[in-house]
Amino acid sequence: MNPVVELNQVTKHRGDFTLGPIQLALESGMITAVLGPNGSGKTTLFRMMMNLIYPDQGTLRLFGAEVTQERELEVKGKIGFVGDTLVPLDEKMTVGEWKQFVAGWYPSWDEKLWQRLAERLEIQPKKRIKELSTGMHKRVAFALALSFHPELLLLDEPSSGLDPFAWRIMMDEIQTFMQKGDRTAIIATHMMEEVRRLADLIVFMYDGRIVGIYEKDRLLEDWKTMWVRASADVLQGAAGVVFAEAGHDGVTRLITNDAKATEAELRNRNLSLVERKAVELEDILWHLMEIDKKNAVNGVGSNARA
pLDDT tens for 27-49 read 999 999 998 888 888 889 988 88
How many domains are contained in the chain? 2
The range of the structural domain enclosing residue 252 comes to 224-278
| 198 and 232 inside one domain | no
Q: How confident is the model at residue 1 (pLDDT cuts 50, 70, 90)?
A: low
Q: Which class for 145: exposed (0-12), middle (13-18), buried (19 or more C-beta within 10 A)? A: buried
Given 172, 198, 218, the domain boundary residue is 218
What's the mean per-residue pLDDT of the chain? 88
d(CA 303, CA 208): 11
Rounded average pLDDT over 105-126: 95
Collapsing DSSP to helix, strand or coil, 66 comes out as strand
Structural domain includes residue 114: no
Residues 255, 225: contact at Cβ < 8 Å? yes
Residues 6+ apart with CB under 8 A from 20: 9, 10, 11, 12, 55, 57, 58, 208, 209
Query: What tens digit of pLDDT does each residue of 206-232 get?
Result: 889 898 899 999 998 999 999 999 988
pLDDT score of 88: 59
The reply to whether 145 falls in a domain is no
Across residues 138-155, what is the average pLDDT?
94
Give the CA count within 13 Å in the CB-facing half-sphere of 306. 19
The pLDDT of residue 264 is 94
pLDDT digits (tens, 9 = 90+) for 80-101: 999 876 565 577 889 999 999 9
More confident residue, 297 or 284: 284
- Judge if 253 and 195 occupy the same domain: no
CATH code of residue 62: 3.40.50.300
- Taking only the tens place, the pLDDT of each residue in 234-252 is 888 899 999 888 887 889 9
Q: Which of 202, 218, 234 lies at the terminal end of a domain, its last residue?
A: 218
Same domain, residue pair 233 and 256: yes
pLDDT at 118: 96
Query: The domain spanning residue 270 has which CATH number?
Result: 3.30.70
Confidence of residue 126 (pLDDT cuts 50, 70, 90): very high
Instruction: Report helix, strand or coil for 95.
Output: helix
Q: Does residue 64 share a domain with residue 168? A: yes
Residue 134 forms part of a structural domain: no
* Residues paired with 246 in a beta bridge: 252
**Residue 156 and residue 175 in one domain:** yes
Taking Cα atoms as reference points, which of 302, 291, 228 lies closest to residue 259?
A: 228
| Dist CA 181 CA 183 (whole Å) | 6
Strand order in the sheet with 31-35: 79-82, 152-156, 184-188, 31-35, 201-206, 209-215
- 165 and 181 inside one domain: yes
**Tens-digit pLDDT profile for residues 286-298:** 888 888 777 766 6
Query: For residues 228-244, b (16+ Cβ closer than 10 Å) or e, as one string?
Result: bebebeebeebbbbbbb
